[in-house]
């Protein structure tokens, strides 16, 4: 914790329903670039190392509380039972007053582009000016929907007027209140009691607290934020989409500046938590998210989806899905393969077109070239698995394991009925169903005896032609009878 912030607590207002979202999900849990909106705010807030962080939840508050418990356990959830406005939301923290520190930073929970540097500037601004309350302000081209900053001739803040209550003259003001405040904690809770619902919504507005401070002769200062997009809020899904586009651009530019080639940033979707090594190339329409780490010199081909996986240096993934897997160096995967969780591959492994690998280990130098399903298997090094091979791992009750030792050649269209061990350097013949262990160095063959019938193809075709002629004749007779 930094000395400058040790007496500061942060309050994030996340109780609103967000009616214009038209959703049963709390607005702050709607996602931008794979993460809930509130994730980005909490990341920036915790970068300040404050004394405490509180999130005021209301609509579907148990969902917000669960998310915080799972992802930000240091944040504490408090509940606003009746959604009566922002001042009412802050007042529910009165019972925690002794834990809040000398200063309280309050911000809305729907501005995912806010930066910790801007919040730190506001805190420093309050210290430097010695004011009792400081707030961020910014100028926008279209202030509709925002509270307007009303100043005197000397530029001091007199009050904030909400858009719904503003006069026509006040609506022309382009300096707006993005709802980021820093108050002296004792004064905050003292004057919250004075706020009345004197507005068209019948709610208790935190903005009215500014007027109360000014009326009492307390100093209120505004710090202008040049980059207004940082405090852009989200009220509907159109704004959600617009801010996601900006967030995606920021994330992708960060990767590119660190040495990653992104061929089409407008159509590449990366999670901020992902790690990607230098000289890796990301082709268009890739989705890479979760706790994924991609090494250097990789090629992630178009339309690939990678989640919670580790990809070794020099690996190529082409139009495939990789989830919860650990992929070694210089692998070649795809196109259109599905690598499922708990799969681990060694170096120089090939998994070709249209393969599915589930909860299996594949050692270095082995190949599963195409059209195969490998599940619950352990494959040694130097193994070649022929096309259309299936490990029959599920017997209707249990998942069973297949072990294929080093140097084995599995013929195409082999069914490996688990539990099963195929010994080192052995071969299974194409088209076999292998249900017993194969000793090392053996050739395993399981096929029905082939029978060739002389002129059988001619006889078969003639039989089918005669049947078709007879069927057509019957249909014609029925038709004639109906016409008579």
Q: Which residues are catalytic?
A: 370
Q: Look-up: residue for tokens 């890479």? A: 288
Q: Look-up: residue for tokens 């019938």? A: 453
Instruction: Identify which of 115, 71, 86 has the alpha carbon closest to the alpha carbon of residue 14.
Output: 86
CB 416 within 8 A of CB 410: yes
SS (H, E, C) 362-417: ECCCCEEEECCEEECEEECCCCEECCCCEEECECCCCECCEEECCCCEECCCCEEE
Rounded CA separation 152/166 (Å):
17
**For helices 37-46 and 61-71, what crossing angle results, to 10°?**
50
Instruction: Identify which of 53, 23, 58, 52 has the alpha carbon closest to the alpha carbon of residue 41.
Output: 53
Instruction: Identify which of 292, 364, 283, 363 has the alpha carbon closest to the alpha carbon of residue 322.
Output: 292
CA atoms in the 13 A half-sphere facing the CB of 378: 10
Whether residue 288 is preceded by a cis peptide bond, meaning omega within 30 degrees of 0, is: no
Instruction: Identify which of 315, 267, 266, 265 has the alpha carbon closest to the alpha carbon of residue 292.
Output: 315
Q: Which residues touch 483 (CB under 8 Å, ≥6 apart)?
A: none
* N residues, the chain: 484
Does the CA dihedral 193-199-203-205 come out positive or negative?
negative
Q: Going by DSSP bridges, is the β-strand pair 287-289/305-307 parallel, antiparallel, or unpaired?
A: parallel
Element housing 471 (H / E): helix 456-483
Rounded CA separation 44/210 (Å):
25
Q: Which residues touch 46 (CB under 8 Å, ≥6 apart)?
A: 53, 72, 74
CB 43 within 8 A of CB 273: no
What does the block give as tokens for 98?
A: 């002794």
């Amino acid at each position: 914790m930094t000395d400058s912030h040790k007496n500061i607590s942060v309050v994030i207002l996340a109780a609103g329903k967000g009616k214009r979202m038209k959703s049963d999900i709390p607005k702050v849990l709607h996602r931008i670039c794979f993460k809930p909106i509130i994730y980005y705010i909490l990341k920036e807030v915790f970068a300040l190392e404050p004394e405490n962080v509180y999130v005021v939840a209301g609509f579907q508050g148990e969902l917000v509380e669960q998310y915080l418990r799972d992802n930000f356990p240091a944040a504490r959830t408090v509940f606003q039972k009746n959604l009566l406005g922002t001042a009412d939301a802050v007042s529910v923290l009165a019972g925690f007053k002794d834990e809040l520190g000398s200063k309280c930073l309050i911000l809305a929970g729907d501005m995912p582009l806010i930066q910790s540097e801007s919040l730190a500037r506001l805190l420093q601004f309050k210290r430097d000016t010695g004011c009792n309350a400081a707030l961020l302000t910014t100028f926008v081209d279209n202030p509709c929907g925002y509270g307007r900053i009303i100043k005197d001739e000397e530029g001091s803040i007199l009050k904030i007027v909400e858009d719904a209550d503003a006069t026509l003259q006040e609506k022309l003001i382009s300096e707006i209140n993005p709802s980021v405040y820093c108050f002296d904690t004792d004064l905050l809770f003292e004057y919250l009691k004075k706020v009345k619902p004197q507005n068209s919504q019948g709610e208790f507005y935190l903005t009215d607290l500014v007027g109360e401070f000014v009326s009492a002769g307390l100093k209120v200062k505004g710090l202008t934020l040049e980059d207004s997009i940082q405090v852009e809020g989200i009220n509907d899904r159109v704004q959600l989409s617009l801010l996601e586009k900006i967030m995606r651009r920021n994330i992708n530019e960060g990767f590119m500046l660190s040495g990653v080639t992104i061929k089409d940033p407008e159509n590449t979707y990366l999670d901020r938590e992902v790690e990607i090594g230098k000289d890796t190339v990301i082709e268009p329409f890739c989705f890479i998210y979760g706790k994924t780490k991609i090494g250097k010199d990789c090629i992630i081909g178009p339309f690939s989806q990678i989640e919670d996986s580790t990809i070794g240096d020099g690996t190529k993934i082409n139009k495939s899905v990789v989830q919860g897997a650990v992929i070694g160096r210089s692998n070649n995967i795809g196109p259109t393969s599905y690598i499922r969780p708990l799969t681990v591959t060694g170096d120089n492994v090939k998994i070709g077109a249209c393969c599915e690998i589930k909860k299996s280990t594949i050692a270095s130098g082995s190949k599963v070239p195409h059209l195969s399903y490998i599940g619950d298997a352990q494959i040694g090094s130097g193994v070649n698995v022929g096309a259309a091979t299936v490990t029959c791992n599920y017997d209707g009750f249990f998942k069973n394991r297949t072990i294929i030792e080093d140097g084995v050649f599995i013929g195409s269209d082999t069914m490996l009925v688990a539990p099963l061990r195929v010994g080192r350097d052995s071969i299974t013949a194409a088209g076999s169903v292998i249900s017993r262990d194969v000793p090392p160095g053996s050739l395993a063959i399981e096929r029905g005896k082939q029978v060739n019938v002389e002129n059988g193809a001619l006889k078969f075709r003639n039989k089918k032609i005669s049947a078709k002629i007879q069927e057509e004749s019957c249909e014609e007779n029925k038709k004639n009878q109906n016409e008579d």
